[in-house]
């Protein structure tokens, strides 16, 4: 028999954000996965995504459970919510990368009753059971669960007409070790690839609901490179070679399955640049309707690549050639560049813009080097600040995410030749030039064909810039607010461009082991 307290309680799952746009670009997958992990007797969780609209605190009552997922960028807003929810008498539980790295911080500053570290889906029912019993533990170790047990999202809970893209994960973990990235340390270096049928079922459900644009929200969609296979063969390590070949074969099986989806389906993912030297893989991506990928270019010089431990990337002309290879397979590249690396010089900004333009990348993002916790860069930077780091408003710089947004510095690491303002101004100028109307219009010609599609391309480019450049780089809050308002206005017509016709009767053959086509493994 359920207690009355149990029946009255509501589970709130909250994705914090200090800016709301009314419409979201990509569905925050974790909300829907954790909703799946919530046992039915607890009722349907209330999902709140503050990138759509701010939380109404009046909805949280004594005895409710409030689950807050945080990464470093939204931790401070998450803590504000947690403190207020605890004051309202709710049980407050944190999860996500940042909470996994700083569980004590969530307790000290965010009002946490409990923190879940690692993958949350398996341990979540236990957390709820303990909250209902009035005795949540301080911490729950979610660990790294195996891919067979990854859960699909509860897409039946999606609010109608609020997101442009669906999101599905196919693999967790990345074998690389880039110095600015925490993925390989938090999700691990062993790729955990989901079963093809599980991925397919989830995608079909989203397509039935009218999502024809879907992000494959993977750490690295190309976890095994031809170079990895060659190296395993050279080392005469048959077990490792076999393991890598199996992962590669699974990727192809997945792409074969995705190829069956309706022609107008569009996937976007993230991969390393090494995929450019693997035409068989790129061709399979094209057949699988994967039309775009975020590619971490990071730096255009060998020195810059060394700075970020990304020596496997190319630089100079070879970089341009590699990026162009993606376009030959109908794959649009969102090139990601980092500014403020120790080897950067004032000329690096123009050189990077020139590479982005000559290489024909369709979209680009220019981010300033930021030491995010969990990365090698952060560890070295924190150490360099010493025992008594400088403070902003009483907050040590080494805890920069706790500095209120309006006062948060934009550049953290001392640079040998440029001031923080110079790096920020030059970065802003590169965004402005790449996304100027004439530049976007010129790019649209190579990206799409009809006039209508070119106009849509302009709208999408502009909204991308407003959402990701001005709200992240601008120092004055007036500019951030203006940008958020502008993005809000453009977001509604933009979402309509992405919406597809619902296909409630869509059926796709399951990709059982017997049905996936045999593939010749590459000669190494
Ligand atoms: S930046 Fe990309 S390639 Fe590098 S470790 Fe992170 S996920 Fe892997």
Is ligand 1 within 6 A of the CB of residue 65? no
Is ligand 1 within 6 A of the CB of residue 375? no
Mean pLDDT of the chain: 91
Contacts of 94 by beta carbon, 8 Å cutoff, 6+ apart: 67, 68, 69, 70, 78, 82, 103, 106, 110, 112, 114, 115, 116
How many Å apart are CA 53 and CA 47, to the nearest integer?
Answer: 12
- Least trusted range by pLDDT, from 150-159, 190-199, 499-508: 499-508
In this structure, the residue with its CA closest to atom 3 of ligand 1 is: 176
Most ligand 1 atoms within 8 A of CB, residue of 97, 172, 173, 174 to mutate = 174
Tell me the pLDDT band of 325, cut-offs 50, 70 and 90: very high
Strand 192-193 and strand 171-172: the pairing is antiparallel
CB 289 within 8 A of CB 328: no
Report whether pLDDT(524) > 50. no
- Across the range 339-362, mean pLDDT stands at 95
Q: Greatest CA separation found in the chain? A: 70
How many Å apart are CA 353 and CA 349, to the nearest integer?
Answer: 6
Q: Which atom of ligand 1 is nearest to the CA of 270?
A: 2
Is ligand 1 within 6 A of the CB of residue 272? yes
Q: What is the pLDDT of residue 477?
A: 58
Q: What is the pLDDT of residue 478?
A: 60
Q: What is the pLDDT of residue 520?
A: 40
The burial class, CB within 10 Å (0-12 / 13-18 / 19+), for 249 is middle
From the CA of 298, how far away is ligand 1's center (Å)?
11
From the CA of 22, how far away is ligand 1's center (Å)?
30
Report whether pLDDT(29) > 50. yes
Strand 395-396 and strand 391-392: the pairing is antiparallel
In this structure, the residue with its CA closest to atom 6 of ligand 1 is: 181
How many Å apart are CA 246 and CA 374, to the nearest integer?
Answer: 30
How many Å apart are CA 372 and CA 397, to the nearest integer?
Answer: 12
Q: Which atom of ligand 1 is nearest to the CA of 175?
A: 8
Orientation angle between helical segments 238-258 and 279-287, nearest 10 degrees: 30
Tell me the pLDDT band of 262, cut-offs 50, 70 and 90: very high
From the CA of 182, how far away is ligand 1's center (Å)?
8
From the CA of 455, how far away is ligand 1's center (Å)?
33
pLDDT tens profile 102-126: 999 999 999 999 999 999 999 999 9
Q: Which atom of ligand 1 is nearest to the CA of 184?
A: 5
Q: Please calculate the CA angle 24-25-27 and round it to the nearest 5 degrees.
A: 75
pLDDT tens profile 391-410: 999 999 999 999 998 888 88
- Nearest residue to 480 via CA among 372, 408, 421: 408
Q: What is the pLDDT of residue 523?
A: 42
Q: Which atom of ligand 1 is nearest to the CA of 272?
A: 3
Burial 3-41 (b: 16+ CB within 10 A, else e): eeeeeebbbbbbbbbbbbbebbbbbbbbbbbbbbbbeee
Report whether pLDDT(476) > 60. no
pLDDT tens profile 286-316: 999 999 999 999 999 999 999 888 888 888 8
359 secondary structure, DSSP code: T
From the CA of 178, how far away is ligand 1's center (Å)?
6
Tell me the pLDDT band of 480, cut-offs 50, 70 and 90: low
Q: What is the pLDDT of residue 355?
A: 94
């Amino acid at each position: 028999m359920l207690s009355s307290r149990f029946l009255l309680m509501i589970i709130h799952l909250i994705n914090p954000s200090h800016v709301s746009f009314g419409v979201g670009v990509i569905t925050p997958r974790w909300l829907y996965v954790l909703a799946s992990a919530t046992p039915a007797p607890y009722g349907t969780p209330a999902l709140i995504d503050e990138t759509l609209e701010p939380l109404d605190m009046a909805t949280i009552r004594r005895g409710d459970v409030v689950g807050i997922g945080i990464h470093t960028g939204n931790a401070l807003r998450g803590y504000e919510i947690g403190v207020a929810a605890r004051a309202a008498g709710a049980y407050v539980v944190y999860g996500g990368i940042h909470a996994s790295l700083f569980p004590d911080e969530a307790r000290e500053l965010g009002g946490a009753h409990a923190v879940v570290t690692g993958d949350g889906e398996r341990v979540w029912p236990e957390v709820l059971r303990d909250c209902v019993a009035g005795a949540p533990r301080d911490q729950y170790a979610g660990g790294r669960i195996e891919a067979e047990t990854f859960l699909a999202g509860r897409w039946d809970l999606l609010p109608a007409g609020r997101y442009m893209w669906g999101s599905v994960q196919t693999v967790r973990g990345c074998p690389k070790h880039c110095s600015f990235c925490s993925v390989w340390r938090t999700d691990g270096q062993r790729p955990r690839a989901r079963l093809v049928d599980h991925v397919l079922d989830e995608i079909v459900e989203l397509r039935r609901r009218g999502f024809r644009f879907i992000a494959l929200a993977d750490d690295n969609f190309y976890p095994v490179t031809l170079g990895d296979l060659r190296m395993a063969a050279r080392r005469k390590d048959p077990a490792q070679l076999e393991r890598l070949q199996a992962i590669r074969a699974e990727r192809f099986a997945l792409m074969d399955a995705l190829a069956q989806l309706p022609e107008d389906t569009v996937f976007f993912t993230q991969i390393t640049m090494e995929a450019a030297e693997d035409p068989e893989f790129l061709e399979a991506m094209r057949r699988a309707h994967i039309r775009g990928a975020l590619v971490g270019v990071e730096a255009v010089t060998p020195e810059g690549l060394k700075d970020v431990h990304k020596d496997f990337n190319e630089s100079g002309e070879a970089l341009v050639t590699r990026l162009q290879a993606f376009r030959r397979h109908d794959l649009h590249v969102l090139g990601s560049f980092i500014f403020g690396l120790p080897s950067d010089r004032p000329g690096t900004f123009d050189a990077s813009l020139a590479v982005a333009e000559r290489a024909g990348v369709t979209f680009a993002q220019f981010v300033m080097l930021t030491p995010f916790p969990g990365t090698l860069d952060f560890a070295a930077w924190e150490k360099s600040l010493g025992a008594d780091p400088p403070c902003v408003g009483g907050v040590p710089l080494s805890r920069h995410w706790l500095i209120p947004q309006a006062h948060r510095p934009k550049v953290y690491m001392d640079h040998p030749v440029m001031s923080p303002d110079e790096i920020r101004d030059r970065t802003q100028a590169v965004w402005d030039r790449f996304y100027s109307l004439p530049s976007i219009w010129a790019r649209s010609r190579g990206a799409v064909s009809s006039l209508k599609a070119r106009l849509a391309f302009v709208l999408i480019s502009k909204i991308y810039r407003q959402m990701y450049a001005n709200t992240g780089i601008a120092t004055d809050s007036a500019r951030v607010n203006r940008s958020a308002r502008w993005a809000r206005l453009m977001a509604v017509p933009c979402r309509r461009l992405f919406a597809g016709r619902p296909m409630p009767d869509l059926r796709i053959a399951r990709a059982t082991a017997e049905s996936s086509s045999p593939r010749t493994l590459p000669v190494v």
